[in-house]
Amino acid sequence: MNETPLYTSKRALKSLWQCYRIYPDRLELQSWVLFHTVVVPAKEIRGVEVRPSVFGGGKGFAWGIKLDNSDLCRHVLLERTSGLFKRIAFSPDDPEKFVEICRSIMAGG
């Protein structure tokens, strides 16, 4: 697993200084909360979308595991087909770009 990521989120306060990466075949979501890096194979991604903060109204609150301050800012909600945590919310530096690249590996995976 020594390949270059397609996307690497910059560490920031909103993500609690965690790092989120997209590779051609998987996502790697670093998590201080869960004490390890969550690896999600591309074939296990059911859906991915950008969500507003809870202050933005509508669909801001996400049910599931939150890896950072996701409810307080624009964030990504990832839905998996398997695993202990099927819904994971997190805050990459550019949620729209993260979702766009993630959807491209879903189609190719």
Instruction: Specify whether domain 7-108 bears CATH 1.10.3720.10.
Output: no
Look at residue 1 and tell me whether its pLDDT is greater than 70.
no
22, 102 contact by CB (below 8 A) = yes
pLDDT value at position 58? 60
80, 100 contact by CB (below 8 A) = no
pLDDT tens digits along 15-27: 777 889 999 999 9
pLDDT value at position 54? 79
pLDDT value at position 95? 94
Q: Quote the strand ranges of 1-109, DSSP E.
A: 7-8, 20-23, 26-31, 36-41, 45-51, 65-66, 75-80, 87-90
pLDDT value at position 65? 83
pLDDT value at position 70? 79
23, 3 contact by CB (below 8 A) = yes
H-helix or E-strand spanning residue 100 = helix 95-108
Tokens standing for 73? 């800012």
Name every residue whose Cβ is closer than 8 Å to that of residue 58 and which is 6 or more positions away in sequence: 52
pLDDT tens digits along 44-87: 999 999 988 877 666 656 678 888 887 788 899 999 998 888 99
